[in-house]
Structure 1
């Protein structure tokens, strides 16, 4: 009689020898240029404003600090930058004139915190961390999130700057919402349009620290002139951000509704688990969006950014114009033009 355990073991080996080597041979190799030195810290983030954010995060990483602290400190820079009208204070309001902020954060243990539709609090990334560390919940929203922030020492302030209010009043003349692709990136955009209005940027940041641990953060003011109460992908774990310390992390930017529909960042991490490189995983996630809505995909922008456990990174977007920033021991202020489908 054949021993059951031996039979199962031989069957498993047989299946691996026949089927798995075919799929493994097609997997993208991990040995490619976009890589930090092994066991060396690295931080990457979306868009041009990621350069300054990375430098703040690097101050934590270069001194042996935790990736979680690095990403929080890093994204706080654009949250406080009044010239950045897509993140934090000074962000564009919704169509009723209210600035509402969304953010999430995730650490190496799978702990995560999130806030959405928060008014009058600048550093919502820190509120999200407090949700993660001080509550049994993952997400707080609206009035409840603001109340929680105030109870934990955050100060209320007016987030609507004169510049953003002026842009909103100008928009009210026609009241039409239509995202314009690629005006968010002036260096790499094929459409050199003036100003920084009507865009849908997010800062997503991923870091790997000297201990080999990953964390990520994502924060935004959302789509300019969105419907009151609209929340995109940025504060949603698995959509705008996902981290698995065994594999890697991913973050997204662009039209959040399409990222949510594909659970984009989780998808990228799971593709890396299967052996995809970060760049190839991001490309596949973008192609999933095209497969679902091929016509709409030509009119919007979505970009993914990923970092794996080996310190390898990559991105892919629907349209030209997406960029991401990299900071490690070799390069402190590098901005890279992301690849795109169109």
Structure 2
């Protein structure tokens, strides 16, 4: 009888494991191969962090939409730099890199920050030095595609760009730019709450479905361990040194295994000002559905920036997925779970502001 007890205990633990949660992978955009690879990894080893790393690494290698990984979104110097984040919903620990230069595996470096340091965020050339110490090879992130993007942009007088309140006129030239002497004296954006008007002089976003900035991924294993992460090469034609929302916790991604997780994509310079991923998780904590939580996060942004371009994917701890968006007709996101028979692309209809 005693010999049967360990076997019986193992069986009970296995049954408990099987029904402990509803494992899934959810990803921004129609990044199906990244979702499939993450799901297969999750099924093989049931380690959420490994699945997330594999999924984001897939998009980096595939150069998804040329907005993830090397060889895309060159800055004003023609250089591609990378941002990435991993957020662990069990420990509330994170690892992130911003403006990473000369290292292709941004999500891998972010994970090293998570697991091998007591820090949260490393940036720039010193993040490259850290990555090299961790065994990552330094190599060029430039490709023929990114070089052609850069040259075409230069030939069009550096249009579009992200400059404002500078001289010479940034809509007609490539600079170099200097600040206008009257810049600090002008109130550029009137308060729509006081004037009851939408500001008319906010520059049009250069973000769109071809320049959307990020893969955001959420993974939950059968134990209910939630993790969220991002990887991106940032905004095309960005001012050198720019880091977007993707590696910032609560902006690009956020997770709490007791509640849910969320990821964002789009105009990161605007999104980081509102911490939409954190807000969506907190809305779910208060009882909102994932769809309601994502919409609240989008509404918080569009109240100030009506033409904002972006989307939020939110998932609760039960595996229910929702999304919301603005600035496009429909926002695709991809889900894999036990009932999906592979990766399935869903679409959120964007609320028109």
Is the TM-score greater than 0.5?
A: yes
Q: Number of residue pairs matched?
A: 287
Which of 285, 298, 310 aligns to 2:297? It is 285
Instruction: Tell me, in whole angstroms, the C-alpha distance in 2 between the residues paired with 1:226 and 1:123.
Output: 21
Q: CA deviation at 1:229?
A: 0.4
Instruction: Tell me, in whole angstroms, the C-alpha distance in 2 between the residues paired with 1:114 and 1:180.
Output: 25
Which of 101, 120, 130 aligns to 2:112? It is 130
Describe how 1:322-337 pairs up with structure 2 within 5 A. Answer: 322-331=331-340, 332-337=342-347
Q: Is the 8 A contact 2:213 2:266 kept in 1?
A: yes
Unaligned runs of 5+ in 2: 1-18, 162-204
Deviating beyond 6 angstroms after TM superposition, the runs of 4 or more aligned structure 1 residues are: none
Instruction: Tell me, in whole angstroms, the C-alpha distance in 1 between the residues paired with 2:78 and 2:207.
Output: 23
Q: Given the superposition, is the C-alpha separation of residues 96 and 126 from structure 1 closer, same or farther in structure 2, using an over 3 Å criterion?
A: same
Unaligned runs of 5+ in 1: 1-36, 185-198
Instruction: Tell me, in whole angstroms, the C-alpha distance in 1 between the residues paired with 2:151 and 2:206.
Output: 18
User: Does 2:157 align with 1:147?
Assistant: no
- 2:280 aligned residue: 268
Instruction: Tell me, in whole angstroms, the C-alpha distance in 1 between the residues paired with 2:80 and 2:113.
Output: 21
- 1:301 aligned residue: 309
CA deviation digits over 1:298-319, x for unaligned, max 9? 2x31110111101111100013
User: Does 2:296 align with 1:313?
Assistant: no
- 2:52 aligned residue: 71
Instruction: Tell me, in whole angstroms, the C-alpha distance in 2 between the residues paired with 1:83 and 1:268.
Output: 26
Instruction: Tell me, in whole angstroms, the C-alpha distance in 2 between the residues paired with 1:218 and 1:100.
Output: 14
Q: CA deviation at 1:136?
A: 1.3
Q: Given the superposition, is the C-alpha separation of residues 227 and 182 from structure 1 closer, same or farther in structure 2, using an over 3 Å criterion?
A: closer
- 1:341 aligned residue: 351
Q: Is the 8 A contact 2:78 2:146 kept in 1?
A: no
CA deviation digits over 1:231-269, x for unaligned, max 9? 110000111110111101101000012211111110010
Q: Given the superposition, is the C-alpha separation of residues 83 and 41 from structure 1 closer, same or farther in structure 2, using an over 3 Å criterion?
A: closer
Q: Is the 8 A contact 2:20 2:223 kept in 1?
A: no
Q: Is the 8 A contact 1:302 1:317 kept in 2?
A: yes
Alignment root-mean-square deviation, CA: 1.5
User: Does 2:145 align with 1:163?
Assistant: yes
Which of 183, 196, 209 aligns to 1:183? It is 209
Q: CA deviation at 1:83?
A: 5.9
Q: Which secondary structure state, in structure 2, belongs to the residue aligned with residue 261 of structure 1?
A: coil
CA deviation digits over 1:186-232, x for unaligned, max 9? xxxxxxxxxxxxx1230000011011110111010000010000111
Q: CA deviation at 1:180?
A: 4.7
Q: Given the superposition, is the C-alpha separation of residues 82 and 318 from structure 1 closer, same or farther in structure 2, using an over 3 Å criterion?
A: closer
Q: CA deviation at 1:63?
A: 2.6
